[in-house]
Amino acid sequence: MTPSIRTIDVDLADRSYAICVGEKNLAELGPAMRRSGLGNKAAIVTDGNIAGLYLKPVEASLRQAGFETSVIFLPAGEEHKNLDAVAAIYDRLVAARFERGSTLVALGGGVVGDVTGFAAASYLRGISYVQVPTTLLAQVDSSVGGKTGVNHKEGKNLIGAFHQPRLVWIDVAVLRSLPKREVVAGLAEVIKYGVIADAALFRRLEEKLDDILKLDSAMLTEVVAASCAIKADVVAKDERESDLRAVLNFGHTVGHALEALTGYETFLHGEAVAIGMVQAAAISVAEGACDRESFERIRRLVVRAGLPAEIPADVSPAELVKHMEVDKKSAGGKIKFILCKGIGATRFHALAPGEIVARLEESR
């Protein structure tokens, strides 16, 4: 049975847009872009790995729908998420005389999406772009919400802009071409949505985890759509992260620190977030925000998914917390921590660095 397409609206007044989640729907992208009122000229930005798999159907769909298309290749990999990649896009857009009404289509994972989005945010002070995310992480997180940008040699995502896409087009069938480890890492963010906002989604993940791991299309469509709906809701309420949007960073305070401390080589982002969520849940129990049973359910689901849950023995909590202090979340000497209130709700809690070290030591 072909699962139906789910559409989620991101409600941002005149910058509202749809997230469409389906299976094998790449051929329908062109007509959908037409319906979104996008102009005739479109450049598909992608990388060599993705192009071999999905460029043809995407380009054909756009052409059949009457778009004049060109293709811009970016080198694959996080090390190329920098201003050189953005400059390479500008060069092509200038040479091809792209105008305010032209569109960029980001076909790829988080790096392609973030770089393309930033080029779209800045070229001619802002042109339209469409996200066609091809990793689970990008489908449930980075393609939605308009955070665009690149890394600086001193830190990740230091240069960027908020610029919402005009359409997010998700095909869950593309996840079949991902390495299993990457799908599992993306699942960490799906679990996160259950913990922070949706106890029913969390239960569904507990019940259907095996089907999800087998990449059952109906289940993937359901959980990707549920995740995007939560993100869409949060973004609609707090687009620029003045407050609420920070809940999306549940598990990321420890997770980011762990990634940085291990040189971004040991863990995929989602794996570090999985550890961070379990540790944040443990801290939530210790701070009286979360019951023990909910903590156990979170830890069990993370482990069943094949994700790591513990801080490696050779990583010291004190070192981890040092990385948190240089992170932008630090305010007034305390670190703004996101605690879970059981499963499905959160609250912010400022913790002194020493308190976090002590809590992390306790949970070892």
Residue from 3, 117, 145, 270 in contact with ligand GLY (CB under 6 A): 145
Among 41, 192, 256, 297, which one carries the catalytic annotation? 256
- Active-site residue 231, yes or no? yes
Three-class secondary structure of residue 83 per DSSP: helix
Q: Which of 59, 65, 81, 147 binds ligand GLY (CB under 6 A)?
A: 147
Find the helix or strand (DSSP H, E) in which 279 lies: helix 269-286
State the angle between helix axes of 269-286 and 353-362 in degrees (0 to 180), rounded to the nearest 10. Answer: 90
Active-site hit among 59, 189, 271, 355: 189
Within 8 A by CB and 6+ apart from 90, the residues are: 119, 123
Is 189 considered catalytic here? yes
Q: Does 89 bind ligand GLY (CB under 6 A)?
A: no
Kindly tell me the burial class for residue 211, based on how many C-beta atoms sit within 10 Å of its own C-beta (0-12, 13-18, 19 or more).
Answer: middle
From the list 249, 271, 299, 359, the catalytic residue is 249
- By the rule CB under 6 A, 113 interacts with ligand GLY: no
Collapsed DSSP state (helix, strand, coil) of residue 147: strand
Subset of residues 227 to 286 that bind ligand GLY, contact rule: CB under 6 A? 241, 245, 248
The CB-nearest residue to ligand GLY is 248
Q: Quote the least distance from Cβ 364 to ligand GLY, whole Å.
A: 28
Taking CB under 6 A as the criterion, the residue among 23, 47, 114, 141 binding ligand GLY is 141
- AA letter at 80: H
- β-partners of residue 73 are 46
Task: Determine the residue type at 82.
Answer: N
Q: Please give the Cα distance from 165 to 352 (Å, whole number).
A: 38
- Choice between 42 and 190, CB closer to ligand GLY: 190
C-alpha Rg value of the chain to the nearest Å: 20
108 counts as binding ligand GLY under rule CB under 6 A: no
Confirm if 22 and 5 have CB atoms less than 8 A apart: yes
Give whichever of 3 and 110 is closer to ligand GLY, judged by the CB atom: 110
Specify whether 28 is catalytic.
no
Question: Which stretches of the chain bind ligand GLY, using CB under 6 A?
Answer: 141, 145, 147, 241, 245, 248
Active site amino acids: 125, 147, 189, 231, 241, 245, 249, 252, 256, 269
